[in-house]
Structure 1
Amino acid sequence: MRAVAIGHPEERKWQRYTLRAFRPGDEAGLASLFAACFEEQRTPEECHWKILENPRREDTATVFVALDESQIVAHVGGLPVEFKAGAETVRALIACDFAVLPERRRGLKKVGLFLALARMVEEVCRDRFALTFGFPVPAAHRMETRYLGGKDAGGVPSLACPLTIHGARWLWGRKGVARLPATWLAGHKGLRRGLRFRGEIVVRRVARFDPFVDELWEDVSGCLPFAVQRDSLYLNWRYARPGRPYLLLVAEDGRRPVGYVTFRTVRFGSVSLCLIMDIMPPTGTGVSERLLCEVMLYARANRVDAVRCWMNEKCAFYDVLMTHGFVRTSSTDRLVYKVFRRELETASIGRRENWYLTLSDSDGL
């Protein structure tokens, strides 16, 4: 059964539910839905920031909700971004926060609220965007690939570096303690190597990014076949998320900005983690190594148990991470994408190693 339009292309009826675009004032209802579906809470302020303050937001909605009378019981949507796809820049959607109240779910054998809402989003958005992508949880992954035509491009490389016994046990279990000394030795060697650049590359903390990142993106993007455009407009919105304090570091070579790194610390249960959200340039140069050193020094000084990140193994920075004691970890994060513009449907877009993905591309962090 498909949703039936009820007088507006962004509002439809499906069974007893009203499916419509997100509206200002829905923030509290959306936060209540997330509280019932996720361990990590979303505040109304976060919902407002994510949907209404996005600088790439259009008049036509990209986030939709399902209501049972006045209660929001489901949510499906995407965050508009500028996206580098080969030699051109296109508009894309990052899938975000799919949620259906547990008591309203119908499993995989019947069409339920999730599919009805997701199909509506696609019908409204497919002519305005070139593609959509995301990193769905296993249950949503099955729905997207089985019913919505999403394609699995493979697992996202997740790396971690334990700094304490607690972090080693979190990463490797009971045997982790025996592996920690080798990690520490590699980390110390990496720090010594990176700190060689301390005299020529100065790192400072900033509250916002200057337009220099636009020039940096132009310089670096040619080496990144598929990636979210990391310009100052996007970055200053991305790291202004309410309730999420991020640290932004800029590297300067003779007072000329040449790179940046963003990160934050979080707790997962009893483990304290430092998450490297993004780094530019993702190369093996002294700039990226110097920035990594600052992150590692911060993590050690603040008694963080482990440092974690995503990094494409084709980037030279992947090798830098390995020399600092990082190891590949198991992860359920998988890239799922769907192309709306036929000319973009090439073999290269289907290979995950051609995508530059970092934790900043993950909606949940």
Structure 2
Amino acid sequence: MVEKPTVRSFRPGDELGILALYRAVFNVDVSYQDWQWVYQQMPEEPAIIVVAENNEGIIGHYAVQPRPFWLHGKPCLAGLAVGTMVHPSARNLTTLIEMAHLAYDICRQRGLLFLYAFPNDAAWKVRQVVLGWQALPQLTEWEGPLLLPDSQMDTKIQIWTDFPLEFVPSLSLPNDEENQKGISGRRTPPWLHWRFFQNPDAEYKLLVVGSLDKMQGYAFLKEYVRSGVRYGHIVDWQVPIAQASTAKHLLVSAFKEFAQSQVERVSCWALPLSSLFNLLPDAGLSPTGRKTNFGYFNLSSQNDAILASNNSWNIQMGDSDVY
């Protein structure tokens, strides 16, 4: 007889049951190395993980990655909701709700102010109706053919495909006061190293304007094949919005780098608060690509107005768990 599941916080030793649940729900084999990177190795703190367990093992999972953010000029800790799943043989709303509520309580205890997520269509309806998440406009990829600019690559651009850990303390990121005015991921050297150079399954290129100890701007690039077409993603971008010339040089350099890898089309996310936003139309890109659901859950009784304003957000592909 199958027992009623118990909902509890993660305990060491749950990993094998969680990996088995990934296979049962999503039909994917997540390696232990991948699991550690996603859930245990973030520089801020490990993920908040809640599981549901019965006498047959772990049958439910709800997790939140703590992420450093800017919220209207103040640094804070937010959370990216990831890995929400319930075993097909045990699916019911009660288990999902109990896991979510316990996870939210732990998030509040750890000082997280809000959560955000990019759910698929089916999960998004449940999050909104059952868990009280708020929808924001879908994120639409800017995309288009790779058009080579006439200007040459800026000789001041450095390109990094690997980044030794000992270099991290010397990083001095560009001033991002513009990002601080809204809601955006707060980039720190340890976070950048974890997100882009410790990822066991993806390779990125870091393009730097200036030097590591005095960056004027940077871009992280990724290449992959979609439906037989080689794409170049601009996954992460940070150039102060007032530095239009720097931003233009960096975009030219990114396109030149893509061309050397036989990239055919380019894509990215860019919202109006980003210095990349106004450059894209002249570069041949338009907001006509894939759409991604996006929304938030406010963990406090404050900040409702700014969280609800889609004009406040500056989200990039680097803020997701996919790109």
Q: Which runs of 5+ in 2 are unaligned?
A: none
Who is 1:198 aligned against?
Answer: 154
> Which amino acid letter does the alignment assign opposite residue 140 of structure 1?
A
CA distance in 2, matches of 1:31, 1:244: 20
Of residues 349, 352, 364, the one that matches 2:307 is 349
CA distance in 1, matches of 2:318, 2:247: 17
> Which amino acid letter does the alignment assign opposite residue 353 of structure 1?
N
Task: Confirm or deny that 1:157 pairs with 2:154.
Answer: no
Cα RMSD, aligned residues only: 2.7
Task: Confirm or deny that 1:45 pairs with 2:33.
Answer: yes
Deviations 1:55-80 (A, max 9, x none): 1116xx61122233353322211101
> Which amino acid letter does the alignment assign opposite residue 245 of structure 1?
E
- 1:257-272 equivalence runs, <5 A: 257-272=215-230
Of residues 232, 240, 243, the one that matches 1:274 is 232
Deviations 1:17-75 (A, max 9, x none): 232222333334323322333366532211111211111116xx611222333533222
Q: 1:253 to 1:129 in 2, by over 3 A?
A: closer
> Which amino acid letter does the alignment assign opposite residue 35 of structure 1?
R
- 1:5-24 equivalence runs, <5 A: 16-24=4-12
CA distance in 2, matches of 1:290, 1:151: 38
User: Contact conserved, 2:171 with 2:213, CA < 8 A, in 1?
Assistant: no
Deviations 1:200-249 (A, max 9, x none): x3332252364465542xx2134441112101021111111112222222
User: Contact conserved, 2:172 with 2:212, CA < 8 A, in 1?
Assistant: no
> Which amino acid letter does the alignment assign opposite residue 124 of structure 1?
I
Who is 2:77 aligned against?
Answer: 91
CA distance in 1, matches of 2:29, 2:246: 36
CA distance in 1, matches of 2:268, 2:232: 9
CA displacement at 1:352 relative to structure 2:
1.9
Q: Secondary structure at the match of 1:278?
A: strand
CA distance in 1, matches of 2:49, 2:293: 22
> Which of the two has greater helix per residue?
1
User: Contact conserved, 1:97 with 1:364, CA < 8 A, in 2?
Assistant: no
Q: 1:70 to 1:53 in 2, by over 3 A?
A: farther
Who is 1:166 aligned against?
Answer: none
CA distance in 1, matches of 2:16, 2:258: 35
Pair member with larger Rg = 1
Of residues 48, 56, 59, the one that matches 1:73 is 59
CA distance in 2, matches of 1:86, 1:255: 27
- 1:331-342 equivalence runs, <5 A: 331-342=290-301
Who is 2:193 aligned against?
Answer: 236
- 1:273-352 equivalence runs, <5 A: 273-281=231-239, 283=241, 285-346=244-305, 348-352=306-310
> Which amino acid letter does the alignment assign opposite residue 87 of structure 1?
G
User: Alignment length, in residue pairs?
Assistant: 315
CA distance in 2, matches of 1:329, 1:62: 35
User: Contact conserved, 1:206 with 1:249, CA < 8 A, in 2?
Assistant: no
Q: 1:254 to 1:244 in 2, by over 3 A?
A: closer
Task: Confirm or deny that 1:126 pairs with 2:85.
Answer: no
CA distance in 2, matches of 1:215, 1:282: 11
Q: 1:123 to 1:276 in 2, by over 3 A?
A: same
Q: 1:57 to 1:318 in 2, by over 3 A?
A: same
TM-score norm. by structure 2 comes to 0.86
> Which amino acid letter does the alignment assign opposite residue 88 of structure 2?
P
Q: Which moved more, 1:134-143 or 1:275-284?
A: 275-284
CA displacement at 1:253 relative to structure 2:
6.6
CA displacement at 1:330 relative to structure 2:
4.6
TM-score norm. by structure 1 comes to 0.77
User: Contact conserved, 2:224 with 2:230, CA < 8 A, in 1?
Assistant: yes
- Percent identical pairs in the alignment equals 22
Who is 1:174 aligned against?
Answer: none
Q: 1:223 to 1:79 in 2, by over 3 A?
A: closer
Who is 1:56 aligned against?
Answer: 44
CA displacement at 1:344 relative to structure 2:
1.6
Task: Confirm or deny that 1:31 pairs with 2:19.
Answer: yes
Q: Secondary structure at the match of 2:150?
A: helix
Deviations 1:79-116 (A, max 9, x none): 0122111121122111112222334334xxxx243222
CA distance in 1, matches of 2:185, 2:154: 30
CA distance in 1, matches of 2:118, 2:221: 20
Deviations 1:265-287 (A, max 9, x none): 22334333222210111646232
